[in-house]
Amino acid sequence: MQNLKEYITHPVFSQIGKISDQEGIETYVVGGFVRDLLMERKREYYDIDVVTVGSGIVLATKVAAALRPGLKVTVFKNFGTAMFKFDDIDFEFVGARRESYQRESRKPFVEDGTLEDDQKRRDFTINALAICLNSDRFGDLLDSFNGVGDLERKIIRTPLEPEVTFSDDPLRMLRAIRFAAQLDFMIEDKTLEAIQTQCNRIEIVSRERVTDELNKIILSPKPSIGFKLLEKTGLLAIILPEIQKLKGRETRNGIGHKDNFYHTLEVLDRISKNTDNLWLRWSALLHDVAKPVTKRFDPRLGWTFHAHNFVGEKMLPSIFDRLKLPLNEKLKYVQKLVSLHMRPIVLSEEEVTDSAVRRLLCDAGDDIDDLMTLCEADITSKNPDKVSRFMSNFQLVREKLKDIEERDALRNFQPPITGEIIMETFSLPPGREIGIIKSAIKEAILEGEIHNNYDEAYQYMLAKGDELGLKAKI
């Protein structure tokens, strides 16, 4: 039997072991901590799951009191669980149970069980490993379902028949795919088939839990692994039908268009090499979401997806709402990137003028760098000449952006002349002239006719007022 005591050096573990010995109960550390330890996978944040063949609540309370008097223990009586935070690590305690492990279920747990009962009701063999904490067996690894073998072979497999494991908690279908993406593992055939046949049962899981897993898939090193599996199993059509609809090619008059599903996944993988920003990754996933609804065939032009960026932007609030994603500035950010995602490309296809770059800078504001990252990821052409032309023009756009940004500080464009100044200067009440003058000043700055400063804008305002027949106060 493998012994891992040299890896479980945190003093809480020995304390748990000591109290368990005193109480005469067996206690183990289980779940993701053991899996990641064996994989030598570094984690920034841990929650550590502890199972005891006894009362989790009693054990947690006694361990906490021994560690530091007054250490706060949070108890979830209905679930028979308790937790405390120590050294910034969440330690969660549960009594071994015969029925399924259902952390978020409203059903109170009923029957106590042995460690083996508990392990077999867990989701995957790689998560059903346990390390004993009692002093006589401290560090012993218990592996009833050959989880270590599956870790070596990089396989996701359920300890029981997959139908049983998934019907206990259908979220596990998504978790299987999430682990496959995060760890770059394969899902065993039988387990995958069970997901295919039971995919509809995901409907009974709360949106928040589904979205939590989706976010983890999006944040994994190569998200396409997860999305291809979501598609293959039928889960994608249920949880993100808009992305499912991107799949497929059509040919008419001998003209085809690319498969926008695989294109999207390529963009998502490419961007994931450059950013861990969840919302930038969501922008990559959703950048072409309106292509299916805007798709037309024009005998002269071939396939067009006219205004798919703007239509996409409008589709986002309902998608975010349905997925319970935040409807705040995160949504606005993704909307902005989706709506602007073609601008730098179009720019780089044409001659890169100062005025076009100024307009881009003004519209993208602080998100300009993220927008450029998205656009670069969006260049997935197989034609190397095309790619290198885009990339070098892109470099030009970047240089000009830098240049102009330094000159004009347009990134957070604030009009140098406010509506109040215009009203004051021409003794005007609020009215349409104010808007006309304000946008004329903005246009003049963007076109490079005047610099972005108060004095030049003030003179421009006077001239524009004159044109409109307004008299300035002396």
DSSP letters spanning 311-352: HHHHHHHHHHHHHT---SHHHHHHHHHHHHTTHHHHHHHS--
| Residue 152 CB neighbour total at 10 angstroms | 11
Number of residues in the chain: 474
213 binds ligand CTP (CB under 6 A): no
User: Alpha-carbon distance 59 to 20, whole Å?
Assistant: 7
Residue 351: burial class (beta carbons within 10 Å; 0-12, 13-18, 19+):
exposed
Of the pair 169, 433, the CB lying nearest ligand CTP is at 169
Least distance in Å: CB of 101 to ligand CTP?
A: 4
For 383-422, what is the HEC assignment? CHHHHHHHHHHHHHHHHHHHHHHHHHCCCCCCCCCCHHHH
Of the pair 100, 260, the CB lying nearest ligand CTP is at 100
Of the pair 104, 455, the CB lying nearest ligand CTP is at 104
Q: Which of 13, 17, 20, 31 binds ligand CTP (CB under 6 A)?
A: 31
DSSP E strands: which ranges in 63-164?
A: 74-76, 81-86, 89-95, 130-132, 141-142, 155-156
**47 phi and psi angles, rounded to 5 deg:** -115, 140
Point out which span in 167-175, 280-288, 390-398, 460-468 binds ligand CTP (CB under 6 A): 167-175
Of the pair 47, 363, the CB lying nearest ligand CTP is at 47
Torsion of CA 90, 95, 96, 101, to 10 degrees: -60
Choose among 221, 223, 249: nearest CA to 236.
Answer: 223
47 binds ligand CTP (CB under 6 A): yes
Of the pair 127, 373, the CB lying nearest ligand CTP is at 127
123 binds ligand CTP (CB under 6 A): yes
Of the pair 220, 452, the CB lying nearest ligand CTP is at 220
101 binds ligand CTP (CB under 6 A): yes
Of the pair 49, 288, the CB lying nearest ligand CTP is at 49
127 binds ligand CTP (CB under 6 A): yes
Contact 448, 358 (CB under 8 A): yes
Least distance in Å: CB of 414 to ligand CTP?
A: 44
359 binds ligand CTP (CB under 6 A): no
Angle value at C-alpha 280, between 277 and 284, nearest 5 degrees: 135
Residues pairing with 312 in the sheet = none
Of the pair 59, 347, the CB lying nearest ligand CTP is at 59
Q: Which of 26, 28, 49, 426 binds ligand CTP (CB under 6 A)?
A: 49
Of the pair 219, 462, the CB lying nearest ligand CTP is at 219
| Residue 474 CB neighbour total at 10 angstroms | 3
Point out which span in 169-177, 225-233, 353-361, 371-379 binds ligand CTP (CB under 6 A): 169-177
Contact 157, 189 (CB under 8 A): no
Least distance in Å: CB of 102 to ligand CTP?
A: 7
Q: Which of 120, 157, 172, 464 binds ligand CTP (CB under 6 A)?
A: 172
Count the residues of the shown chain that bind ligand CTP, applying the rule CB under 6 A: 13
**410-440 burial string, b = 16+ CB within 10 Å, else e?**
bbebeebbeeebbbebbeeeeeebbeebbeb
Point out which span in 121-129, 350-358, 366-374, 384-392 binds ligand CTP (CB under 6 A): 121-129
Least distance in Å: CB of 214 to ligand CTP?
A: 13
- Site residues for ligand CTP per CB under 6 A: 31-32, 47, 49, 101, 103, 122-123, 127, 169, 171-172, 175
